[in-house]
């Protein structure tokens, strides 16, 4: 449960490659979301390419696996890219994003792709589903023979406008679901503008703490902080944990960063070339030899 400098550098390169994959996927699909997937590449790199989460890509339905629940389903290109690099399916399949008959739909479809825990599209429901899973594991009579399975729920800050989120927050706190960790992509944007203009969320930390959650705040682009926070969350007793990951929307592409208009649109060919050139200049390319 410790990352060495060379491991961190390799993971940073993976995150950079995942961002390039996202751009290529969006260019091929000619539709999809840009800002969120680029901003969450570091978090998904840690989730799928380290030992932070128990999983087996060759056996996606392994009973002892931890559950990764994506609530803000529109950022699924980054999840698909991370899953492909982890070995859930061939990387070549990434180019089928949003195409007719593809397993990689524009919002995740659980029955289409092994390794997905829920179907997600309508915002606000993922935390409720994740809390239900975590509570179910607490009730499972077979749990005594298994390590406690963890549930990690990925969320966007814009979906905190949905009332169902706060019902789930209250319920999880009441039931002391210490096997539930939520990670909020705190990038401060949503489709209509900046979150604090559309529907102010602050003081966000105090809100979760008031409902009985333990809260960790991290730099969502710092591989070590992300990794350490996931393990710290597991060590917190009788409280669910909210990790507020402060990220930059469009991370790595200067003309997309902090621009909410990139929330829900793909780059065109010229923009895509510029984005890929910039990303390639930022880090090493992952090849089959160093995976």
Q: Quote the domain boundaries for residue 260.
A: 5-290
CATH of residue 216's domain is 3.40.50.970
- In the prediction, which pLDDT does 209 show? 98
Write the DSSP assignment of the chain as a string of letters: ----HHHHHHHHHHHHHHHHHHHHHHHHHT-S--HHHHHTHHHHHHHHHSTTS---TTSTT-TT--EEEESSGGGHHHHHHHHHHHTSS-GGGGGGTT-TT-SS-SS--TTTSTT------STT-HHHHHHHHHHHHHH-TTGGGSPPPPEEEEEESGGGGSHHHHHHHHHHHHTT-TTEEEEEEE-SEETTEEHHHHS---SHHHHHHHTT-EEEEEETT-HHHHHHHHHHHHT--SS-EEEEEE--TTTT-TTTTT-GGGSS----HHHHHHHHHHHHTTSPPP-GGG-
Structure confidence by residue, pLDDT tens digits, 87-116: 999 999 999 999 999 999 999 999 999 999
Indicate whether 148 pLDDT > 90: no
Measure the CA–CA gap between 74 and 156, rounded to whole angstroms: 10
Indicate whether 157 pLDDT > 80: yes
- In the prediction, which pLDDT does 147 show? 72
Structure confidence by residue, pLDDT tens digits, 50-76: 999 999 999 999 999 999 999 999 999
Please state the domain count of the chain: 1
Confidence of residue 144 (pLDDT cuts 50, 70, 90): low
Structure confidence by residue, pLDDT tens digits, 177-223: 999 999 999 999 999 999 999 999 999 999 999 999 999 999 999 99
- In the prediction, which pLDDT does 288 show? 38
């Amino acid at each position: 449960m410790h990352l060495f400098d060379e491991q961190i550098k390799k993971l940073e390169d993976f995150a950079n490659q995942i961002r390039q994959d996202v751009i290529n996927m969006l260019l091929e699909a000619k539709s999809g979301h840009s800002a969120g997937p680029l901003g969450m590449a570091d978090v998904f790199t840690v989730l799928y390419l380290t030992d932070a989460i128990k999983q087996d890509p060759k056996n996606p339905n392994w009973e002892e696996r931890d559950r990764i629940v994506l609530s803000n389903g529109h950022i699924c290109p980054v999840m698909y890219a991370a899953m492909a690099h982890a070995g859930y399916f061939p990387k070549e399949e990434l180019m089928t994003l949003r195409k007719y008959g593809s397993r990689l739909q524009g919002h995740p479809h659980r029955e289409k792709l092994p390794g997905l825990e829920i179907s997600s599209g309508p915002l606000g429901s993922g935390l409720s589903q994740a809390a239900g899973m975590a509570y179910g594991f607490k009730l499972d009579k077979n749990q005594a023979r298994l390590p406690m399975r963890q549930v990690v729920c990925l969320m966007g800050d814009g979906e905190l406008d949905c009332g169902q989120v706060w019902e789930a927050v209250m319920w999880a706190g009441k039931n002391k679901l210490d096997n539930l960790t939520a990670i909020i992509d705190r990038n401060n944007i949503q489709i209509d503008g900046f979150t604090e203009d559309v529907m102010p969320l602050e003081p966000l930390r105090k809100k979760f703490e008031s409902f009985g959650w333990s809260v960790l705040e991290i730099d969502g682009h710092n591989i070590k902080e992300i990794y350490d926070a996931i393990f710290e969350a597991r060590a917190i007793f009788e409280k669910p944990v909210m990790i507020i990951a402060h990220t930059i929307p469009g991370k790595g592409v200067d003309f997309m960063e902090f621009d909410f208009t990139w929330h829900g649109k793909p780059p065109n060919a010229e923009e895509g070339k510029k984005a890929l050139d910039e990303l390639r200049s930022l880090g090493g390319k992952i090849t089959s030899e160093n995976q």
